[in-house]
Amino acid sequence: MTAALVGILVDEKKINWDDPVVNYLPEFEIDDPYITENLTIRDVLTVRSGLIGGDTLEGADRDEIISKMKHLKPSGQFRLTQDSVNLHYLLAGQIVAAVEGKSWDEVVKERILVPLGMKETYTSISSALPFGNVAVPHKEITEEINPIPWVNYENYGPAEGIVSNVCDMAKWVRLHLNEGVFNGKLLFSKEVCKELHKPHMVLKDRWRNFFNPHAVMMGAGLSWIISDYRGLKVLDHFGIVEGMVSFVGMIPEKRFGIVIMTNRHRCDKPITSLKFTIYDEFFEVLLAYNR
């Protein structure tokens, strides 16, 4: 959702995809002067700064995390290596907050959750828990699947803070399949949708094995992984936190999307198998319809 928020601000001509991060976050710095000065919003949303890994600094607030990024030295190649999603989308979220003069949480509620009627979607687990009926995360411990406490990722909200359900996330999928329009209301333009959904860098084979081993091409969009399956463009996005894995997939040309949510740690491989089963069933229905 953070990339879409950036797109909304691009529509409003408040920012541009290729503006340097330091234009909006002058305190931003990493242990490489060239990257510090030249890292753009597009680079951030494509996750290609060259930063790999890093301590999540649990308990630190968003501004403190950014202030400590100056100690991080890129170990990957600038604009050629993709990794460490959390830090990148934290930066993007703080750019949104700086431009709008309010927290990322407030902006995502005003610009996305309320317009889509996502009434059971929250920007942190701490805001969701008081309402009850929240799934319990699970993890394999000593060969048994056990419930574990929720980890509070509030400081990385723009990267992995959204807590939702299938019905609400289906509205999010509909927005993308309708190129930024939901129930007749424009949230972002077709031009922004194209930027979100097109590849901005080619991904290497290790990503193909994770997302789509059948793909001929695989690239990084703005928060989406783009590949092909049975001749059609496919968009994927995984959300992974401790004890939880979620997935959103779309075939825009056919206006088809799926949402899968689980409360077990590291079950991305079963989800990948399930998504292809669903895609194959969809294609069989499509073939039968066209006969």
Residue 289 has pLDDT above 80, yes or no: no
What's the average model confidence in pLDDT over 242-265? 94
CA atoms within 13 A on the CB side of 28: 26
Does residue 59 register a pLDDT over 80?
Answer: no
Query: In whole numbers, what is the pLDDT of the chain averaged over residues?
Result: 92
Q: Any idea where the domains of the chain sit in the sequence?
A: 2-105
Can you tell me the distance from the alpha carbon of 157 to that of 152, in angstroms, rounded to the nearest whole number? 9
59-81 average pLDDT score: 89
Q: Which residue has the tokens 């049975």?
A: 230
> Does the pLDDT value for residue 38 go beyond 90?
yes
Q: Locate the DSSP E strands across the chain.
A: 138-141, 144-147, 181-182, 185-186, 201-202, 218-220, 225-229, 232-241, 244-251, 256-262
CB atoms within 10 A of CB 289: 7
Residue 260 scores a pLDDT above 70: yes
Evaluate if residue 233 carries a pLDDT over 70. yes
Between CA 118 and CA 77 the distance in angstroms is 39
* pLDDT for 291 beyond 60: no
Half-sphere exposure of 75 (CA within 13 A, CB side): 7
81: pLDDT confidence band, cut at 50, 70 and 90?
confident
pLDDT digits (tens, 9 = 90+) for 130-168: 988 899 999 998 889 999 999 888 889 999 899 999 999
Identity of residue 76: G
Please indicate, yes or no, whether the overall pTM of this predicted structure exceeds 0.85. yes
